Amino acid sequence: MIPDIRHAYNQSFSPARYQDLLKELGRISGVEPAFRVAETPVFIPRELTNRLLEAGDEILKVVTRPDIKTLTAGAIPKTFNVPGENARPQFIIIDFAVTRANDGSLTPKLIELQGFPSLFGFQQLLAAAYRRHTNVPSGLENLGKGLDDHSYRDLLRRTIVGSKPPEETILLEVLPLQQKTLIDFACTEEMLGIPVVCVSELKQSGRQLYFERQGRKRPVSRIYNRVIFEDLENMRPQLGNPIDLRQDFDVEWAPHPNWYYRISKYLLPHIHGPFAPRAWFLDEIPVLPQQLDQFVLKPLFSFAGQGVIIDPTPEDVAKISDPGNWILQEKVEYAQAVETPTGPAKCEIRLMYCWPDDAPAPILAQNLARLSKGKMIGVSYNQSQDWVGGSSSFFEY
């Protein structure tokens, strides 16, 4: 998006160096990326960087409200309410579309947010690979302002491991070896020395959790939680009916499962301002907008774009039996913001915040970018296109 840097990058792009980048990701992590990695990073000019930071700060004001738990009391399905909830979400993830303002400048618009981890390990590996194999100018940063690789790793350790021993901290997932995010799990294990554990491996002794590796019983005192509880329940028979995690265990969660629901699409109707599209709970709209095609329908309890209706009709709305679990959000028009050799691409930028127990406020730690040339943005889409997929932003601070 920084025109001179973009032009120079496109001119100097080498398919061979891109292939070397992909090979390095697999070699260093030990896992081949299960999603498409874009040929290019995204270069964010200072004006857009400042707008992204401002938009993030405005949204954090809602997320960190003293009454946030009261505000989101209806967000947690009774079936998935887990005891032992802590006072804060250790992770806050905010997705912005890159759009054009009325004056033609680039500006962010809120798409979604979540109180759940993202690819904190892999994105650092990816940014380093872009630097080594492509022309990323010095002076542009992928990390939050003031962070370097050392302080970033320390921030992750404080957030994920906290005060517990790394050997008693686990990254917990449902069938992790089958997840598209396995490469991130491998990066996290390497960075922090914490094992990746499937929920089927967990065992309990009273309120204590443990798992066994190489014939040794290993206690669990802290969980880096990557489990989507709906997935867990749907796959319970396949997992051999593992223990029920909705018990009051003597364990710290990072983040606690309830924050997945509290900091989610549920908050979109409560966020207002120039960076926030209008949004309503579907059951609270007395009359549907006449131009319904200018809105999108989103189920509250889904992820990775599943169930989203991009061009809803009154018939689509009429079919919804649980309107309280859906929101209607004003459609956002993505800008064709990133010039590539095979045509312009749309871009979404994810700001990834950590909020360790010893920090007074969330800290911008990392980012993730996604490039698309189709209707949908996620890395599972546009598989037949090039210069699209998962990427990393480099900010001009």
**What average pLDDT does this structure show over 267-275?**
95
Q: What per-residue confidence (pLDDT) applies to 374? A: 82
Mean pLDDT of the chain: 93
Over 60: is that where the pLDDT of 25 sits? yes
Q: What per-residue confidence (pLDDT) applies to 359? A: 96
CA distances from residue 299 to 265, 303, 309 in whole angstroms, order as listed? 8, 9, 9
Question: Using CA atoms, how far apart are residues 259 and 261, in angstroms rounded to an integer?
Answer: 5
Q: What per-residue confidence (pLDDT) applies to 287? A: 87
Least confident of 166-170, 198-202, 305-309, 358-362: 305-309
Q: What per-residue confidence (pLDDT) applies to 325? A: 87
**What average pLDDT does this structure show over 372-388?**
74
Over 70: is that where the pLDDT of 203 sits? yes
DSSP element (H, E) containing 314:
helix 314-318
Percentage above 70 pLDDT, the chain: 96
**What average pLDDT does this structure show over 367-377?**
87
Least confident of 158-167, 249-258, 374-383: 374-383
Q: What per-residue confidence (pLDDT) applies to 166? A: 92
**What average pLDDT does this structure show over 69-76?**
94
Q: What are residue 191's phi and psi, to 5 degrees?
A: -70, -40
Residue at token pair 């400048």: 105
Least confident of 23-37, 48-62, 370-384: 370-384
CA distances from residue 9 to 40, 130, 237 in whole angstroms, order as listed? 8, 11, 50
161: left (phi over 0), alpha (psi -120 to 50) or beta: alpha
